[in-house]
Structure 1
């Protein structure tokens, strides 16, 4: 009965306000609202897990792209990776462990004050054991302490080797070059990661002895000579 069917459809629409044919856009919105309910997402991965999954997917895509571009595919990528590791290992073995370069020079002396004679004895002990770095450091400290004991340098905490050399060159101008060279060696072994040797230690020791024999040049006086 076509007429009855039409009448029934009109009665349903008029009584329940429920359309028999849902349009596309409202239907999509209704489905989105339904699927957004928590009951459908109880077993979804959390934010951290999703991030990890995306990361490993990115790694896989990267490796896949690299293997596609490398000659021989995946096998070629393995060979290239091994070659890169070999180059890195060779550079590490050749250059050694990188040393941190300090932002500034530290004080020449440590916290415990010692006399020039004590520094010389300590330097000799290091030299006899072949510890040339420590021997150079202690002999340079002996030079500066001796100049302070002679009142050619004013005792000043925090003074660096370069500062001591520049200040000592004023009353002892004939040894300005030797003082700068000794300060440079001290800085190289203390801050630059370099290694001293016996000739470097002997040169600083000779400078120490020469400074002890030299009369200081006072303001307006003739340059001092060795006694």
Structure 2
């Protein structure tokens, strides 16, 4: 049973676990995701295509090389479960169907635009912040003894305006050069931000730990922006980004004591 509602969102959640798990595997070890893709010591070969399976399906395919590794995989699986619950809330779970469908569509559209480099990460954060504010208002409206339909309609209108704004300010995928797209990096950045911001990490982190992780994520974003400034991303630059992504994963795993 696939618990992740949409392949575009599942793609970077899956990639995030694969990146974290790669650190825990000995050099050169590979594993199968479903039956189609493997991850080896070569950075992120084909990992973006593993979205046919949920993360909790994938972890069962990873070879257990030690009890410590087994505990780490269990911890990553627990984090994924928390993130699935977070995503369901971001998609308006429990709201009236009309509102739920629009929130789900809006969330998917924003995240996909970020991951596909059709909008900047900064602008994407702004849109997600507005999405969260509207979501909070929607849940508050639903909890009222006699929710006014007019207020619900205002929320619908605001969501439609937000989608229209995104459509006006985002590039089409065909306009984004393939050589500058980094869905793995963008998706993982967003995954880490959402996890840290909403406490989906199953462990209380100190301010110092949170600060260090956010600093590493911000450094990765700066390097990405620097490499893409000329509208082209070389193979070496892309590999450097992947190495920094692995470094961020290592820090994340160590901070979470997996």
State if a TM-score over 0.5 links the two structures: no
The normalised TM-score by structure 2 is 0.25
**Which structure: larger Rg?**
1
The normalised TM-score by structure 1 is 0.27
Q: Which has the higher contact order (CA 8 A, sep 6+)?
A: 2
